[in-house]
Amino acid sequence: MSRASQGGSQKRAEHVARAIEDRIVELGWPVGQLIGSEQSLMEEHGASRGVLREAVRLLEHHGTARMRRGPGGGLVVDAPSAHAVRRSASLLLQYQRLDLASLVAARTALELTCFDSLAERAVDPAVSGQLMAAIQFESSTIGTQDSGHGFHVTLAQRADNAPLALFAQTLIEMHGEEIDGTPQDPEFILLDQGVCHREHEAIHDALAIGDWARARTRLERHLGRLADATLASEGRDELMA
């Protein structure tokens, strides 16, 4: 096959994948629902088997859908994961020679923006309960290898702004991968677990009574200590891994 033909097939596959994704969105993203068999999708989109299979590969890479084999099989809707976004962003930023100081500065800025978005709403008992659940899990794991920290991700997710939450979680996971090779927040590795836990509690307690200014000040100081510990621990400012 010529290079031009390969390029045409790739573009056709991308078009088919996009059409299937548009259909999934129109259907309300019904996770687990069968979209169609390989044969029916080939007919629906006027695509060859090779083009459809490349389209499916793209869908699986995006986490949009997967091909289920066997009797009654076909293309099934999947729930997309933030992992693909995080990994792609991580590779791009590494290619651009992102420095570690910029990573933690961006994380701090996004988390504070998420907090400000959260603070625009009235005190919500559900938000308080979810943050306390994360704190209680932390408490049960202090001194163990399973730090179980999800306070910052939970706080970002409660901002009621999906793009902000996604970007904040992406940077938190990138931070973890740079420090210890896992996509978990590395704060309990970099900071004393007991002190870190108490700071989380203080942020929560201020939020619970509606003292947004105090909660923000405590969060900002906590993130500042985390940033300082990150750079001191690494002894460098270049993001390598």
* CA 44 – CA 24 distance, rounded (Å): 15
The predicted pLDDT at position 37 comes to: 96
The predicted pLDDT at position 238 comes to: 54
The predicted pLDDT at position 235 comes to: 58
* CA 118 – CA 212 distance, rounded (Å): 10
One digit per residue, the tens of pLDDT, for the chain of length 241 reads 545 456 688 999 999 999 999 999 999 999 999 999 999 999 999 999 999 999 999 999 888 999 999 888 999 999 987 777 777 887 888 888 888 999 999 999 999 999 998 876 656 788 888 899 999 988 876 655 554 448 999 999 888 788 898 899 889 988 988 888 888 899 999 999 899 999 999 999 998 888 999 999 999 999 999 999 999 986 555 554 4
The predicted pLDDT at position 199 comes to: 96
The predicted pLDDT at position 89 comes to: 82
The predicted pLDDT at position 114 comes to: 93
Nearest to 38 by CA among 22, 23, 20, 14: 20
With 0-12 / 13-18 / 19 or more C-beta atoms within 10 angstroms meaning exposed / middle / buried, residue 37 is middle
Nearest to 23 by CA among 2, 42, 45, 52: 45
Q: What is the sign, positive or negative, of the torsion defined by CA atoms of 89, 90, 95, 100?
A: positive
CATH number of this structure's domain 82-234: 1.20.120.530
Nearest to 36 by CA among 8, 88, 76: 76
The predicted pLDDT at position 144 comes to: 55
CATH number of this structure's domain 3-77: 1.10.10.10
Is residue 67 helix, strand or coil? strand
The predicted pLDDT at position 157 comes to: 87
Domain ranges of the chain: 3-77, 82-234
* CA 152 – CA 185 distance, rounded (Å): 8
Other Cβ atoms less than 10 A from the Cβ of 60: the count is 15
